[in-house]
C-alpha cells in the first residue's frame, strides 16, 4: 500500500505543479487511482448594443462587427448592418487556464477593401479597449472602476468614426 500512496502523491504534485488541481479517488477492490483534472473556465463576452456616434462611412451605413482577442487568440463576429443602434447579441467565448486573462475588444466597420476600426475607447488615439478578467475572483479590471462578472459595461469613443458599446463579461466554470 505504501507504493500506491507514493504514486498518488507524485500524481498530485505533478498536477498541482502544472497549475491544475486533481481529484484522486481509489477504487476499493482494485486499488487503482483515477485522476480528474479541474475543468478550465470559459471567458464569455456578450455584446448587447452598439450605437454609432457619427457616420462610419461617407456614402453608406456601417456594417459593424466585433473582434475579441482573449489570451492572444482573436475571435470575430459576423457583420451586422448598422441602424442608429444595433442589438447584435454577439457572444464571443474562449476556454482559458484559471487566473488572470488578457482581453482586447474592438469594433470594426466592414468595407470592401480595408475594414475601418471604430473608436470605442475614451482614451485619445486608442480605438479598442484592453482589460483583464480574473477567472478565480470574477473581477474585470483595466477601467476606471473594477467590475464584477455579469455587470453591464458601456464605453464610447470620442474620435471620428466613434461608437458606444455595451457588453457583459462572464466566467463559466
Give tens-digit pLDDT for 124-163: 999 999 999 999 999 999 999 999 999 999 999 999 999 9
pLDDT higher than threshold 70 for residue 71 = yes
Helices (H), the chain: 2-17
Count Cα atoms within 13 angstroms, Cβ side, for 53.
17
Q: How far apart are CA 99 and CA 108, in angstroms?
A: 29
Q: How far apart are CA 115 and CA 127, in angstroms?
A: 13
pTM over 0.85: no
Amino acid at each position: 500500500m505504501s507504493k500506491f500512496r507514493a504514486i498518488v502523491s507524485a500524481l498530485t504534485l505533478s498536477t498541482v505543479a502544472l497549475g491544475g488541481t486533481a481529484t484522486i479517488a481509489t477504487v476499493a477492490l482494485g486499488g487503482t487511482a483515477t485522476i480528474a483534472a479541474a475543468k478550465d473556465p470559459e471567458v464569455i463576452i456578450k455584446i448587447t448594443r452598439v450605437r454609432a456616434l457619427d457616420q462610419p462611412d461617407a456614402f453608406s451605413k456601417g456594417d459593424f462587427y466585433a473582434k475579441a482577442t482573449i489570451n492572444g487568440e482573436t475571435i470575430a463576429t459576423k457583420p451586422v448592418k448598422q441602424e442608429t443602434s444595433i442589438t447584435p447579441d454577439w457572444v464571443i467565448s474562449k476556454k482559458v487556464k484559471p487566473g488572470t486573462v488578457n482581453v482586447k475588444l474592438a469594433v470594426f466597420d466592414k468595407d470592401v477593401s480595408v475594414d475601418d476600426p471604430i473608436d470605442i475607447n475614451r482614451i485619445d488615439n486608442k480605438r479598442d479597449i484592453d482589460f483583464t478578467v480574473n477567472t478565480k475572483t470574477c473581477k474585470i479590471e483595466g477601467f476606471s472602476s473594477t467590475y464584477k462578472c455579469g455587470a453591464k459595461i458601456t464605453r464610447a469613443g470620442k474620435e471620428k468614426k466613434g461608437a458606444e458599446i455595451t457588453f457583459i463579461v462572464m466566467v463559466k466554470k
